[in-house]
Chains A and B, each alone.
Chain A
Amino acid sequence: MTTRRTLLAAGSSLLLLRPAWGTPESLRAAIDTFTGGKEARNGRVTLAIDPLVENGNAVPVSVSVQSPMTPADHVQRIAIFTPQNPLPEVAVFHLSPASGRAQVSTRMRMATTQPVIAVAVMNDGTAWRHSVDVVVTLAACLEGG
């Protein structure tokens, strides 16, 4: 017998099958892969991004990390993640003592209002992060609509 209740249950399970956006699980998995399973602590990383952006198609973003960038103590990788773009990864930057300074800039797309997370991995294996909540008024047309 088909009741309203079973139809509703069927409908919600169908929605669960195909998430239209990235999920917190895919974000966590992407960050874990990037840090090698290490927990990223808050600090040392500064993510510079406007808290309110008008155009999600090109959002200027800059990440800097407090580090002397010597062979003994330097940043190896910096990555940017978002929870609600179709893919959690935005970019991964590979640095070395030859960089001299840990600061990179780019322009990214944002599908909706969401946090942006920057994570840095040091040569000693520790991971650091900084997250900024960003409000987007015009979303990037990532999935049409």
Chain B
Amino acid sequence: MIRALIRTPTLTRPGEVVEIRVLLQHPMETGFRPGVDGQVLPRDIVTRIEAHFEGERVFAADLFPAIAANPYIAFPMRVTGAGNLVISFQGDNGFVQRETAAIRLA
């Protein structure tokens, strides 16, 4: 498990467009960079982020080595009601993780 921070607005109204912010603690090793022994370090990045709200996919992103370490992604979402936002991550070396954030109405 790696640390994942997901920021959702505290209280929203239906129809409002909100910004969801995701920050992952991940080295995003590019696979182009030599280590201290001169050998190129193997690639280790997060390759895909998907967000589902109550079963419907609202956002997805494919990431490449040019994304900075500790990737930060902010994306918009139109609030349709209260519910759970499930954000899943996939990456190299079999990395899979799933986080849930609640969307609450005012």
Contacts and interface: CB of A to CB of B under 8 A. Distances in A.
Contacts of B66: 82, 85, 87, 89-91, 108-110, 142
Interface stretch (A11-19, A94-102, A118-126): A94-102
Contacts of B56: 98
A23 interface: no
A87 to B, nearest CB: 6
Contacts of A110: 66
B78 A106 contact: no
Contacts of A144: 33-34
A141 interface: yes
Most interface-central of B17, B32, B60, B69 (chain A CB within 10 A) = B32
B61 A92 contact: yes
Interface string B49-77: 00001001111111111111101111111
A103 B20 CA distance: 11
B73 A104 contact: yes
Given A92-B61, A94-B61, A142-B30, A101 B76 contact: yes
Contacts of A90: 64, 66-67
Contact of A99 (B32, B58, B65): B58
Given A96-B57, A100-B78, A91 B64 contact: yes
Interface in B69-106: 69, 71-78, 80
A99 B77 contact: yes
Contacts of A105: 72-74
Given A59-B68, A82-B66, A91 B78 contact: no
A141 to B, nearest CB: 6
Given A87-B65, A107-B68, 7 more contacts: A91-B63, A92-B61, A96-B58, A99-B59, A101-B17, A101-B76, A106-B67
Interface of A: 57-59, 62, 69, 82, 85-87, 89-110, 140-144
